[in-house]
């Protein structure tokens, strides 16, 4: 089956689904039009979530929290192509004081700290710098947290706190060079327009090593899939840190501060820490493990056209497709297993839109009548592979276990 | 408490105040296929347009019961109820950790007495062993 290598806007999606349905595929059933509640299959619940159209510049999203906004992408969106539409891209803010009136003529970005020439740049000045484009997955550190067992506190996401976009912007390096980083610089710290309700609560700030900040891949983006980004996704500019978790992708970026020492701010030293173990994995209840700031993403893959419990026709070829991403590098292979991981069959990879983005894959399977568990596994170009067993840590970070979808193959009547 | 709540003006209806214009239609297909962060291109960049929106507010409060006033009065200042109600069942210790984190780390101005009441409320509503609502 050809890849759905393009976007199906809502107006055309129904027709496309009908076509696929005619091919005998049991389709991933998303929320029907007009449906206002969905149920996420989180172990132990509660899984019921409202679907909301109430957020400006956003389509129908899974409501995790109204204020500060946390909106999840309905999973069927990921079957529509490798780029996640801006209006369906997930949203996650830490603090409730979010500027909602952004004037593009007066907005400015301050570059300060350990630099030769502190700068205040207008959007016009930023946009006059050399422009680059890059596809990259933006994924919440806690994507899929709701599937941790034992369960942990936090945003109880299903798998939709991620998205892939083509980001357009300028290199952070070029902006830092304009200001002239002084010798002895160690970190670069980023902050945006959001503020805590309680004034002495810790302002949200994240930092990168100076060498990472100057690697030429970290971007200041003003474009998302060819348009300006929704305010809730960081308008007018946000940081893009390819291959790293979303916590570093500071939204509504207005401050870049070069530090000549370590960053001792709460969001680096206390929050967003992972156990310093392979896969950020520890035993539940285990203590005394050293921690480090969360950093590079790890590979993941998902079936997108067949939902859990779907029925397929026994003895007939069933198209299976989905998305994968390599995490901090590209996808080398996507393999499927229908025998509990004893043997694996490679899927065909779709067009490479860039190593940091989603990669579509497709294959087909044929099964005798009965229950069928389909496992999908991504191996990235560093050779890192999704694990068979889920990781666990108290913050619910970095889940990337091999996903298993239970299907039922039935004889055609 | 004067430093508290620079967000009081931050409520509003579910409407967009001014149309938040997206300058261009979404062009997913046929944007350059080279995915490199190298050389800049020469075609015209986006034109950004100012945005002024209103975010929706939540009408939801915590279910009635002993302590509901304490949790409604203290917690909804900074965040809506939904994410708390979406949490799994957790032990009293885990709920106490969450409430204390809000007070000590995120500086929520909650009295010790209210904090104890809130912990008891949450443990009753969503303690280990209590059924999901």
Q: Going residue by residue through chain A (413 aa), what tens digit of pLDDT does each one get?
A: 333 322 222 323 333 333 333 333 333 444 445 679 999 999 999 999 999 999 999 999 999 999 999 999 999 999 999 999 999 999 999 999 999 999 999 999 999 999 999 999 999 999 999 999 999 999 999 999 999 999 999 999 999 999 999 999 999 999 999 999 999 999 999 999 999 999 899 999 999 999 999 999 999 999 999 999 999 999 999 999 999 999 999 999 999 999 999 999 999 999 999 999 999 999 999 999 999 999 999 999 999 999 999 999 999 999 999 999 999 999 999 999 999 999 999 999 999 999 999 999 999 999 999 999 999 999 999 999 999 999 999 999 999 999 999 999 999 87
- The answer to whether residue A144 is domain-embedded is yes
The total of structural domains in chain A comes to 2
Q: Given its phi and psi angles, is residue A234 left (phi above 0), alpha (psi -120 to 50 degrees) or beta?
A: left
Are A111 and A218 members of one domain? yes
The CATH number of the domain where A312 resides is what? 2.60.40.650
- The answer to whether residue A403 is domain-embedded is yes
Are A261 and A325 members of one domain? no
Whether residue B41 lies within 8 A of chain A, CB to CB, comes out as yes
- The answer to whether residue A376 is domain-embedded is yes
- The answer to whether residue B24 is domain-embedded is no
Q: pLDDT grade, residue B130 (50/70/90)?
A: low
* The predicted structure's pLDDT at residue A163: 98
- The answer to whether residue A36 is domain-embedded is no
Are A130 and A232 members of one domain? yes
Burial of residue B129, with CB atoms counted within 10 A of its CB: 0-12 exposed, 13-18 middle, 19 or more buried: exposed
Q: Are A74 and A30 in contact (CB under 8 A)?
A: yes
CB contact under 8 A, B6 and A57: no
Omega before residue A236 within 30° of 0, cis:
yes
Q: Provide the residue range defining the domain that includes A112.
A: 87-271
* The predicted structure's pLDDT at residue A412: 83
- The answer to whether residue B43 is domain-embedded is no
Of the candidates A50, A68, A48, A47, the residue with the CA atom closest to the CA atom of residue A60: A50
Q: Which two tokens stand for residue B118?
A: 């809130």
- The answer to whether residue B63 is domain-embedded is no
* The predicted structure's pLDDT at residue A314: 97
- Buried b / exposed e across A10-20, counting CB within 10 Å, b at 16+? eeebeeebeeb
Q: Provide the residue range defining the domain that includes B105.
A: 68-126
The CATH number of the domain where B99 resides is what? 1.10.760.10
pLDDT tens for B45-54 read 799 999 999 9
The CATH number of the domain where A132 resides is what? 3.90.420.10
Residue of B nearest to A355 (CA): B35
First to last CA, chain B: 35
Are A97 and A203 members of one domain? yes
Are A411 and A308 members of one domain? yes
Are A108 and A202 members of one domain? yes
More confident residue, B28 or B43: B43
Task: Look up residue A60 and give its DSSP letter.
Answer: S
* The predicted structure's pLDDT at residue B17: 31
Q: Which of A227, A253, A271 is the last residue in one of the domains?
A: A271
Distance of CA A161 to the CA centre of its chain: 5
* The predicted structure's pLDDT at residue B44: 53
- The answer to whether residue A233 is domain-embedded is yes
First to last CA, chain A: 24
- The answer to whether residue A48 is domain-embedded is no
Whether residue B8 lies within 8 A of chain A, CB to CB, comes out as no
* The predicted structure's pLDDT at residue A137: 98
- The answer to whether residue B100 is domain-embedded is yes
> Residue B16: its chain A contacts at CB < 8 A?
56
Q: What ipTM goes with this model?
A: 0.89
- The answer to whether residue B81 is domain-embedded is yes
Are A117 and A167 members of one domain? yes
pLDDT tens for B79-126 read 999 999 999 999 999 999 999 999 999 999 999 999 999 999 999 999
Instruction: For residue B20, give the nearest of A200, A231, A353 by CB distance.
Output: A231
Chain A / chain B CB contacts < 8 angstroms: 207
Residue of A nearest to B47 (CA): A228
- The answer to whether residue B122 is domain-embedded is yes
Whether residue B1 lies within 8 A of chain A, CB to CB, comes out as no
Are A171 and A234 members of one domain? yes
Are A352 and A267 members of one domain? no
Span B69-73, mean pLDDT?
97
- Please tell me the pTM assigned to this model: 0.87
- The answer to whether residue A202 is domain-embedded is yes
Q: Which of A220, A236, A271 is the last residue in one of the domains?
A: A271
Burial of residue A155, with CB atoms counted within 10 A of its CB: 0-12 exposed, 13-18 middle, 19 or more buried: buried
Distance of CA A181 to the CA centre of its chain: 31
The total of structural domains in chain B comes to 1
């Amino acid at each position: 089956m050809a890849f759905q290598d393009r976007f199906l806007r809502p107006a055309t999606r129904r027709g496309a689904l009908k076509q696929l349905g005619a091919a005998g595929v049991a389709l991933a059933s998303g929320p029907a039009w007009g449906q206002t509640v969905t149920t996420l299959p989180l172990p132990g619940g509660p899984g019921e979530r409202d679907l909301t159209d109430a957020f400006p510049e956003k389509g129908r999203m899974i409501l995790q929290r109204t204020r500060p906004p946390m909106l999840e992408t309905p999973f069927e969106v990921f079957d529509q192509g490798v780029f996640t539409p801006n209006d369906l891209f997930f949203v996650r803010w830490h603090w409730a004081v979010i500027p909602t009136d952004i004037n593009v003529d007066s907005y400015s970005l301050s570059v300060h700290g350990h630099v030769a020439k502190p700068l205040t740049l207008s959007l016009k000045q930023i946009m006059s710098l050399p422009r680059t484009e890059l596809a990259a997955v933006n994924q919440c550190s806690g994507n899929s947290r709701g599937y941790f067992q034992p369960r942990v506190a936090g945003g109880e996401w299903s798998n939709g706190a991620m998205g892939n976009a083509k980001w357009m912007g300028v290199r952070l390096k070029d902006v830092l060079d304009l200001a002239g980083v002084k010798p002895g610089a160690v970190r670069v710290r980023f902050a945006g327009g959001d503020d805590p309700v309680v004034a002495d609560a810790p302002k949200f700030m994240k930092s990168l090593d100076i060498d990472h900040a100057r690697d030429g891949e970290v971007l200041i983006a003003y474009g998302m899939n060819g348009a300006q980004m929704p305010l809730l996704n960081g308008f007018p500019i946000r940081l893009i840190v390819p291959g790293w978790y979303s916590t570093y992708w500071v939204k509504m970026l207005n401050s870049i501060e070069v530090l000549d020492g370590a960053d001792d701010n709460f969001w680096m030293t206390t929050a967003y820490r992972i156990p310093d173990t392979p896969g950020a994995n520890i035993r539940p209840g285990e203590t005394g493990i050293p921690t480090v700031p969360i950093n590079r993403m790890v590979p993941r893959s998902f079936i997108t056209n067949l939902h859990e419990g779907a029925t397929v026709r026994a003895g007939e070829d069933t198209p299976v497709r989905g998305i994968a991403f390599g995490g901090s590098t590209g996808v080398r292979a996507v393999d499927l297993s229908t025998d509990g991981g004893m043997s694996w069959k490679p899927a065909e990879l779709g067009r490479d839109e860039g190593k940091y983005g989603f990669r579509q894959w497709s294959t087909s399977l044929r099964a005798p009548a009965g229950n069928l568990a389909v496992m999908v596994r991504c191996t990235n170009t560093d050779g890192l592979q999704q694990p068979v067993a889920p990781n666990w840590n108290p913050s619910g970070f970095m889940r990337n276990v091999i996903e298993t979808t239970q299907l039922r193959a039935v004889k055609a009547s | 408490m004067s430093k508290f709540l620079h967000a009081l003006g931050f409520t509003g209806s579910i409407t967009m105040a001014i149309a938040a214009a997206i300058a261009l239609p979404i062009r997913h297909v046929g944007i350059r296929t080279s995915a490199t962060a190298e050389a800049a291109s020469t075609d015209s960049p986006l034109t950004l347009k100012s945005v002024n929106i209103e975010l929706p507010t939540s009408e939801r409060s915590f279910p009635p019961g002993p302590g509901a006033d304490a949790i409604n009065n203290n917690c909804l200042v900074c965040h809506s109820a939904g994410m708390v109600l979406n949490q799994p069942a957790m032990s009293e210790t885990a709920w106490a950790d969450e409430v204390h984190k809000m007070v000590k780390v995120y500086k929520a101005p909650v009295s010790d007495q209210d904090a104890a009441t809130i912990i008891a409320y949450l443990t009753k509503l969503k303690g280990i062993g209590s059924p999901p609502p």
